Structure 1
Amino acid sequence: MSEPSEVTRPVTVAVMGTHSTGKTTFLSRLADELLRRRVEVVTVADLGSDALEAGLPILYDHTWASTLWIITRGISNELEAWRQADVVLIDRGVPDALGYYEAALEYRNREPDPHRLKHLEELVVTHSQHYDFVLRTKLNPEVPLGQGKPRDTDLAFRALADTRIGQVMERLGIGHDTLPFDEHDRALVDALAFIECRLAEPDAEFSWEDDPPKNADASAS
């Protein structure tokens, strides 16, 4: 009996950020452009509405359990999408859920259980290594809340989630570029160029670190 073949990971683009900062709009534009170029693409949607339908708390009511559910369900959805396309676009990668959890705890003046927090961090760091091109939106307070999804109307929490997501990504060393609300055109060009390079050279090494290891010269000698 032959061994089952491993799944070849597609090019993955993940966008994180607080609500109503243009994540879905940007990814929709990127998907349209990729399809126009005849690239097979799948978008993995955010899970806020699904969590709410499952009876789980979201936004400033987030708990460890609801955060774990979103992270693990998100990972599962992303892995399923790997078989379906050459490029997978992720609307809220897993660091996003951890940022919202920490924002919710701060909002409620609560401290996280350190063991549970470490578990979530390990999941986020491990899986985020599968993201090739990572963006984090930057909140523009003048942009109003979008419609059509469960929305928090507390603008203070919206800003707190923006801050906490950024802190999570910095603390965990998740390399990324920022995506201001008025720079989508620039980011679209950058993302398309990156995707084309990765599709042309699928075996190229990817690292979050721009600088070579300190012992690179020693290992080469």
Structure 2
Amino acid sequence: MTSPTPIRIGVMGAHSTGKTLLMRRIEMELRCQGIPVARTGKLGRRAALVSLPKMQHHTVASTTWVIATGIADEIAATARLEDGPVQVVLADRACWDALAYFRAAQEWRRQPAPQADREAPHRLASAHGHTYDLLLATVLDPGLPVEHKHDHDARYRTLVDLHTHDLLREENIRYVRVTSDPASQELVIEHALQLCATQAPA
């Protein structure tokens, strides 16, 4: 018998804007409520392990790898846990995220890829990108510090933020903006919890 489809919540946005922390907090709250949840992530670190270019050096190949791997992780996350089927999947870097990073990299290098090459990762993201029940997009606060692990280029980081929100508007995707204001983050967490409490499969 096929298990009910879990709630899918994705997050995207420029690096060091609180994406992972936000997902960890939602995960912690869901677990406290006894809701089985799985969280995906660490795509950037795994891409580096296989020597794929990152950040402003993103290519069509690296972008396709990140999108495909993220989708595979989300699908795998729906597997049964010991205490029952997963009811919520939290995607730390929704599939649209890699596409925004790629577009930002092209603008940063001032070297746009051929249209045919640009279309391939877009088709892949588009095929999966409309399955999120809730999509969150962080808003860059230039005043916040950048984590040491990130290759920090202020211009590229700004471009990622720009392309993140432009892409979602172009695709006519409903999403929730999350600023660095703690009140904004609390509202988003509460929104996610209410969604999961009312719509997560039993």
> Which residue of the partner structure matches residue 76 of structure 1?
72
Identity of aligned residues (%): 32
- CA offsets, 1:58-94, max 9 Å, x none? 0000000000000111111110001241111011001
3-state secondary structure, aligned to 2:74:
helix
- Which blocks of at least 5 consecutive residues in structure 1 are unaligned? 204-221
Matches within 5 A, 1:104-119: 104-119=105-120
Superposition misfits of 4+ residues, deviation over 3 angstroms: 5-8
Q: CA deviation at 1:7?
A: 5.2
Greater length-normalized contact order (CA 8 Å, ≥ 6 residues apart)? 2
**In the alignment, does 2:103 pair up with 1:102?**
yes
Q: Is the 8 A contact 1:15 1:136 kept in 2?
A: yes
Answer yes or no: is the 8 Å Cα contact 2:108–2:155 preserved in 1: no
Q: Which residue of 2 aligns with 1:178?
A: 177
Aligned partners of 2:65, 2:122: CA distance in 1, in Å? 14
Q: Report the Cα distance in structure 1 between the residues aligned to 2:4 and 2:194, rounded to whole angstroms.
A: 21
Check conservation: 1:68, 1:120, Cα contact below 8 A. Answer: yes
Whichever residue aligns with residue 190 of structure 2, its letter is V
- Maintained 8 Å contact 1:7/1:83: no
1:11 correspondence with 2:7: yes
Q: 1:65 aligns with which of 61, 74, 78?
A: 61
Which consecutive residues of structure 2, in runs of 5 or more, have no partner in the other structure? 81-85
What CA deviation, in whole Å up to 9, does each residue of 1:86-121 have, x standing for no partner?
111011001000000010011001112211222222
What is the letter of the counterpart of residue 146 of structure 2?
L
Q: Distance in 1 between matches of 2:172 and 2:78?
A: 24
- Number of residues of Structure 1 aligned to a counterpart in Structure 2: 195
Which shifted more, 77-86 or 133-142?
77-86
Structure-2-length-normalised TM-score: 0.92
TM-score (norm 1): 0.84
Larger Cα-atom Rg: 1
8 Å CA contact retained: 1:13, 1:134: yes
